[in-house]
Amino acid sequence: MLRIVLLCIVVLVMVLFVPRLLPRSKAPPLGSVAPEFALLSQDGSKVSLEGYRGKWVVLYFYPKDQTPG
C-alpha cells in the first residue's frame, strides 16, 4: 500500500513540475510577420515569401507523401 501511495506522489510531482522544466516553444506570436524564406514548388521553381508581400498568405506544412510523421 505504501508503494502505491509513493508511486502516486511521484507521478503527481512529475505531472506538475516536469512541463515547467522543459524548454518552451519559440513559436512567433499570432499575427506576427513571418520570416523571409524560399522553397521549391512541386514543379521545381523557387517560390519566395517576398513575392507575396502585401497579400494575405496561409502557410500550410505537411509531411511528404509516404513518409512517417
* pLDDT value of residue 25: 66
| pLDDT for 64 | 72
Q: What is the pLDDT of residue 49?
A: 86
Contact (Cβ atoms closer than 8 angstroms) between residue 43 and residue 36: no
The rounded distance, in Å, linking the Cα atoms of 8 and 24 is 26
**Angle in degrees, CA 11, 14, 17, rounded to 5:** 145
Q: What is the pLDDT of residue 46?
A: 92
7-42 residue pLDDT tens: 999 999 888 887 777 777 677 788 887 788 888 888
What band does 69 get if pLDDT is binned at 50, 70 and 90?
low
Q: Tell me the pTM.
A: 0.38
